[in-house]
Amino acid sequence: MRRSFKYLLRPTSKQAVALAACLEDHRQLYNAALEHRRTAYRRAGVTVRYGDQSAELKHIRSDDLDGQGRWSFSSQQATLRRLDKAYRAFFARVRAGQAPGFPRFRGRGRFDSVEWPQNGNGCRWNSQPDHPTAKVR
């Protein structure tokens, strides 16, 4: 059973700009969530988990409509799950006695993918958006 697909994209210049903006906003979400976890633990000894951050995502999106609010909610949850997976892997390595490698902030060149986990809730790229037959959903 195929669980994922990879597509070779040949975006137009406008689409390339949109893809870069999507990637940048998801990178910023990842880094902000990491900072939130680190700060909460450092200041109050509170552990912030995926569920807590996912619940706050609704407010983050409503406060930033032109930034975080324009992307798929499920793709942003997947980005938060990505951070949670990094934390779980870190603590698993600590328990195993290996060199842990704490989750790090991601720079522009170190965050290169976004996941759309739900079928039908992904992205759709229209190669000819101004064409008269192009349908808008």
Look at residue 6 and tell me if it is in a domain. no
pLDDT given for residue 10 in this prediction: 85
Domain hosting residue 29, numbered range: 13-110
- Provide the CB-side half-sphere exposure for 106 (13 A, CA): 23
Look at residue 103 and tell me if it is in a domain. yes
Look at residue 115 and tell me if it is in a domain. no
- Provide the CB-side half-sphere exposure for 39 (13 A, CA): 6
> Residue 53 and residue 32: Cα distance in Å, rounded?
10
Look at residue 2 and tell me if it is in a domain. no
* Angle of the 73-96 helix axis to the 50-63 helix axis, nearest 10: 150
The residue written with tokens 């902030």 in the block is 105
Q: How far is CA 52 from the centre of its chain?
A: 16
> Phi first, then psi: what are they for 66, rounded to 5°?
-85, -5
- Provide the CB-side half-sphere exposure for 58 (13 A, CA): 3
Task: Walk along the chain (137 residues) and give the pLDDT tens digit of each residue.
Answer: 767 777 777 888 988 998 899 999 999 999 999 999 999 999 999 999 999 999 999 999 999 888 899 888 999 999 999 999 999 999 999 999 999 899 999 998 889 888 887 666 655 655 566 666 655 54
Look at residue 131 and tell me if it is in a domain. no
Look at residue 117 and tell me if it is in a domain. no
Look at residue 97 and tell me if it is in a domain. yes
- Tell me the pTM: 0.82
- Amino acid identity for residue 20 in this structure: A
Look at residue 53 and tell me if it is in a domain. yes
For the chain, the domain total comes to 1
